[in-house]
């Protein structure tokens, strides 16, 4: 796995690099947001790790800029632990965030969880599609179509969430259940992560008249094509 780390703290970089070596990851480290974007554009990366506070361009704006051209998995490192800051990072397109100070083992677990859900099954390029009245989606090729049109703007985690919803059409899930089933690891009870991703996904696949993903007040969410507002 090739990972680009944009982090200006050299001691943090050294710690991450040590664990990368243990895992067999190939890491490249840059210390400036603008340089990070240039390096991103010139390389082929499996995952990006971006620090929030960077010289040149901060990690949130860097994340937003990368999301305009790529769906590569992104983990945001941040010393900011307020709800509004964390939600902002997710809204800019990050798939996950890790709050400083952090355990390297926690970061490695997050990397594995994010990348595992993004990898394509190259053995079956045709893919096996789930079909509904409006959607066609393949976990093998990671392609999703809405009314015959390819949805190109989904982040890796948005794709995973949409696939899970379609796979479990009309079933109601709590935020805690979605964290467990879609994120695949204990997210320390941070259920607003689900709300942010559902909000972004709704904007990309639905309308006010047909949102597809419905809020079940006091419980959570469900995917249902048959309900019209």
Higher pLDDT, 97 or 184: 97
Asked if residue 113 and residue 145 are part of one domain, the reply reads no
Angle, CA of 122, 125 and 131, to the nearest 5°: 120
Q: For residue 223, how far is the Cα from the chain centroid? A: 19
- Kindly state the percentage of the chain with pLDDT values over 70: 90
Cis amide leading into 57 (omega within 30)? no
Q: Does the pLDDT at position 222 exceed 60? A: yes
The residue to which tokens 């696949």 are assigned: 205
Residue 156 and residue 94: Cα distance in Å, rounded?
10
- Kindly state the percentage of the chain with pLDDT values over 90: 45
| Each residue's pLDDT tens digit, 105-120 | 989 998 988 887 666 4
Q: Which two tokens stand for residue 216?
A: 């079940």
Asked if residue 133 and residue 106 are part of one domain, the reply reads no
Asked if residue 114 and residue 133 are part of one domain, the reply reads no
| Each residue's pLDDT tens digit, 178-192 | 988 888 755 555 678
* 135 in a structural domain: yes
3-state helix, strand, coil in the chain (%, to 5): 40, 20, 40
* 189 in a structural domain: yes
Residue 184 and residue 114: Cα distance in Å, rounded?
9
Q: Does the pLDDT at position 201 exceed 50? A: yes
* 150 in a structural domain: yes
Domain that holds residue 218: 129-223
Q: Does the pLDDT at position 57 exceed 70? A: yes
What's the average model confidence in pLDDT over 12-19?
A: 94
* Residue that terminates a domain, selected from 118, 141, 162: 118
| Each residue's pLDDT tens digit, 117-151 | 666 433 333 457 888 888 989 887 889 999 889 99
């Amino acid at each position: 796995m090739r990972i680009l780390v944009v982090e200006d703290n050299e001691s943090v970089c050294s710690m991450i690099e040590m664990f990368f070596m243990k895992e067999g990851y190939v890491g490249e480290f840059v210390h400036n947001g603008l340089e990070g974007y240039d390096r991103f554009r010139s390389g082929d990366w499996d995952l990006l790790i971006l620090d929030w506070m960077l010289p040149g361009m901060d990690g949130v704006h860097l994340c937003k800029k990368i999301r305009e051209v790529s769906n590569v998995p992104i983990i945001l490192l941040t010393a900011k632990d307020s709800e509004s800051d964390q939600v902002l990072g997710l809204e800019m397109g990050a798939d996950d965030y890790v709050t400083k100070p952090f355990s390297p083992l926690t970061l490695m677990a997050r990397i594995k969880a994010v990348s595992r859900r993004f990898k394509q099954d190259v053995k079956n390029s045709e893919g096996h599609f789930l079909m509904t009245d409006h959607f066609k989606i393949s976990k093998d090729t990671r392609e999703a179509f809405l009314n015959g049109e390819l949805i190109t703007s989904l982040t890796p985690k948005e794709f995973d969430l949409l696939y899970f919803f379609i796979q479990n059409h009309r079933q109601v899930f709590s935020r805690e259940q979605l964290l467990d089933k879609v994120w695949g690891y204990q997210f320390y009870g941070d259920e607003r992560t689900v709300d942010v991703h559902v909000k972004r996904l709704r904007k990309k696949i639905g309308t006010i008249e047909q949102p597809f993903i419905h809020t079940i007040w006091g419980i959570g969410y469900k995917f249902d094509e048959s309900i019209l507002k």
